[in-house]
Structure formats: C-alpha cells, structure tokens
Amino acid sequence: MAEPVVRIPDAKVALSTASVYPESTATAFEIAARLGYDGVEVMVWTDPVSQDIDALRRLSDHHRIPILAVHAPCLLITQRVWSTDPWTKLQRAQAAAEKLGASTVVVHPPFRWQRQYVRDFISGMWRMANETDVRFAVENMYPWRYRDREMLAYAPDWDVTKDDYRHYTIDLSHTATARTDALEMIDRMGDRLGHVHLADGNGSNKDEHLVPGRGTQPCAELLESLALGGFDGHVVIEVNTRRAMSSAEREADLAEALAFTRLHLASAVKVPRR
C-alpha cells in the first residue's frame, strides 16, 4: 500500500505591500515579518518609501525579510511615478529588482490609449527579458464595466494568454472580475506561469481582492495544483484590507490569508512504500 505524505513546493509566500493600504510600505514589512511570511512584494506607488531603493533595503535588513518581487508602477494613480514614460518605469523596476535581490517584476499590459507603448509592448517585453535574469511576469487584467456597458481598457488584451510572453502572473481577483475560468487560464499559461497574486472575488464589476476562501475563485485548487506541479515561483497575498476597522483586524485578515495559502500548498501525494 502507498502511504500519503505531504509535499510542499519550493514556492515562497509573500505579502504585497498593497495589502496593508492605507497603512504604509514600512508597515507591510513589519507585519510580514511578524506573521511569518517568506518575503514581500513591493508595490511601487505614491508612498515615497516604495520608490526608494535604499529605504527598501534598510526595511528588508531591519526586519530580516527579503524582497521577492517588485510590482512596476502601472496603475492609473502611478502614471507619474518613476517617470511618465512606461519603458523608463520598467527599466527602473528591473534595476530595483536587481539591486534588491528580487527575482520578479510584475507588469500590467498597457492601457489602450498608450498607443506607442501598445505597439511595442510584446517585442519590448521579450527584449527586456533577454537582458536580465529577472522575470518580467505580465499580469492578466479584466474588462472595465459600468452597469451593462463594457470597456476594453487594456491592450493588446486584458487576457494576456492571447499574446506571447516569457512569463505570466495570474491574479485570481482579476479572473473573478473578468468572469473567466481561472483554471483554464492557468492551463493556457502552462509552464510560463511564473508568479501568482492570490486573492478572491465574487465576479463583481469591482476588482475586490478578497481574502482567499471568501469568494468564488478556485484558490485552494490552484494552490494544490501548484504543489503537485512543483511550482518554483512566488505566491503573493494581494488582498484589500481597506475596510478593516483596526490594525488588529487587518493583521488578522493577513494571518488568515497566510494560513489558507500554507494549508493548500501542502499537498498529499501518494508515494510507493520502500
């Protein structure tokens, strides 16, 4: 008879600094270290500390927690962070990742109105990927909706599997908002899936970023499949805690998300008895 054993992949579980908003980047490092996360993903945005490589290095050293990924400033609210030129933003994100020891840069596809950026995006992603060991992992997005109207805000497409990139990021809050099958998208990504943003959603028009297990997305199934497949990227908790009534409530949500992730990354595998 084969006996079940637990096999845990090499994937590290990180906390996105966006998960503590409206608290600071520095607070994210403190919480991640206290709760036992393996590292952090730095969302580069309007917080000056998130843009400052030396300040980030000091936080990492002080809390003894590594920076595993850098999320380039691709949001509407970060259009002027690290330049208004999108390629300059990515070059600075690459430099930050290399200096901080992060293995991954997360990138959103362009907005449709960034026409020149859109035209060059796929070839530019390959060019940058060939110049560094840092993974540029392009993230799935979603259509924007208002009532019964839908606007395609991203190009070449919000479904990044329709285009050719070396690495992908899967975000399960975004699959919920897009109302697409997350597991089918992961199958299309195949061995190019290099990074995971773990969150949940109910298919609302809004990008919810719920704590895993509180929505309809196959968060547990995804983690179990990563474990069985020996996934070697990072799993990043990227949830919305803005409605937390206190710091303690926010920390409880982030502890729950970490516990959920560790539980489902530990897969029961049958192996022959020796």
Give the mean pLDDT of 113-121: 96
Give the mean pLDDT of 259-269: 83
User: In the structure encoding, which two tokens stand for residue 188, read together?
Assistant: 């299309």
Position 4 scores a pLDDT of 54
Are the C-beta atoms of residues 151 and 120 closer than 8 Å to each other? no
Q: Given a cut of 80, is residue 267 above it in pLDDT?
A: no
Q: CA angle, 200 as apex, 245 and 82 as ends, to 5°? A: 80
When pLDDT is cut at 50, 70 and 90, the band that residue 230 belongs to is confident
Give the mean pLDDT of 99-112: 97
The number of domains in the chain is 1
Residue 77 lies inside a defined structural domain of this protein: yes
Residue 69 lies inside a defined structural domain of this protein: yes
Strand partners, 145: 150
The rounded percent of the chain whose pLDDT value lies above 90 is 85
Q: Chain-wide mean pLDDT for the chain?
A: 93
Q: Residue 125 corresponds to which amino acid? A: M
Give the mean pLDDT of 149-176: 95
Domain that holds residue 45: 6-266
Residue 273 lies inside a defined structural domain of this protein: no
Residue 271 lies inside a defined structural domain of this protein: no
Residue 32 lies inside a defined structural domain of this protein: yes
Q: Among 68-72, 184-188, 225-229, 234-238, whose mean pLDDT is lowest?
A: 225-229
Comparison of pLDDT for 152 and 255, the residue scoring more? 255
When pLDDT is cut at 50, 70 and 90, the band that residue 271 belongs to is very low
Q: Given a cut of 70, is residue 155 above it in pLDDT?
A: yes
Residue 1 lies inside a defined structural domain of this protein: no
For residue 134, the 8-state DSSP code is S
Q: Given a cut of 80, is residue 127 above it in pLDDT?
A: yes
Q: Given a cut of 50, is residue 270 above it in pLDDT?
A: no
Residue 217 lies inside a defined structural domain of this protein: yes
Q: Given a cut of 70, is residue 221 above it in pLDDT?
A: yes
Comparison of pLDDT for 148 and 198, the residue scoring more? 198
Position 50 scores a pLDDT of 98
Residue 274 lies inside a defined structural domain of this protein: no
The pLDDT tens digits for 165-197 are 999 999 999 999 999 999 999 999 999 999 999
Q: Given a cut of 80, is residue 242 above it in pLDDT?
A: yes
Position 272 scores a pLDDT of 45
Are the C-beta atoms of residues 20 and 50 closer than 8 Å to each other? no
Are the C-beta atoms of residues 124 and 139 closer than 8 Å to each other? no
Confidence (pTM): 0.93
For residue 196, the 8-state DSSP code is E
Position 9 scores a pLDDT of 66
CATH of the domain at 151: 3.20.20.150
The pLDDT tens digits for 1-54 are 555 555 666 789 999 999 999 999 999 999 999 999 999 999 999 999 999 999
Give the mean pLDDT of 53-70: 98
